[in-house]
Amino acid sequence: MSDGTALAGPDGALRCPWALSTEDYVAYHDEEWGRPVHGDDALYERLCLEAFQSGLSWITILRRREGFRKAFAGFRIAEVATFTDTDKERLLADPGIIRNRAKIEATVANARALAEWTEGELDELIWSHAPDPATRPVPRTLADVPAVTDESTALSKALKKRGIRFVGPTTAYALMQACGLVDDHLEACVARSAP
């Protein structure tokens, strides 16, 4: 059993322990998690997937990501904003995604809200909440990684104020981790501050 410190993966490299349970996690951890993501559609996708993950394991979402992309028009905000009640019923019947009515409704409602924003505004808002890396201690164990921060609470409030749903402080922090606003790879992890 891990004490929360980095562990050797199949290739011998040290990684965050959560990343070692499946090959899908290893690839996601090494190639995506904690890497900067920019662009409104790309950030909208991550925001939606983090909301769908709420109450579930991330691997459930990760393994259905292509199904989500297909079901939600590649997470192109302008297209999802035009989804009708018929589209929502189609999504509720789609076995390739998580069929949760509240999360589907929020995904469409969020696209409609974001379609009213100017291009680049979502990117700017999210990244304006990135903390100064110099002020953040480098986590040595999983116990050093928070679930919520002042910045994620502020981001959640800013998004909600602008009409975005299903984005509490914990979901906002998961978004910040996934999109590289913070680097929560453990100190000994091979992916720590990777380019």
**How far apart, in Å, do the first and last CA atoms of the chain sit?**
30
Q: Structure pTM?
A: 0.95
CA distance 104 to 106: 5
pLDDT in tens, 121-149: 999 999 999 999 999 999 999 999 999 99
182 and 131 in contact (C-beta within 8 Å)? yes
Residue 58 annotated to the active site? yes
With 0-12 / 13-18 / 19 or more C-beta atoms within 10 angstroms meaning exposed / middle / buried, residue 167 is buried
Query: Among 18, 32, 58, 105, which one carries the catalytic annotation?
Result: 58
Could you tell me which residue, 193 or 150, shows the higher pLDDT?
150
Let me know if 25 is a catalytic residue: no
CB count within 10 Å of CB 65 equals: 16
Contact by Cβ (8 Å): 110, 44? yes
Q: What percent of the chain has pLDDT over 90?
A: 95
Our answer to whether residue 28 is catalytic in this structure is yes
Cβ-contact 91, 97 below 8 angstroms: yes
CA pair distance 185, 137, nearest whole angstrom: 11
Distance CA 122, CA 131 (A): 17
Confidence of residue 195 (pLDDT cuts 50, 70, 90): low
Q: Catalytic residue among 28, 32, 105, 187, which? A: 28
Given 33, 44, 45, 50, the catalytic residue: 50
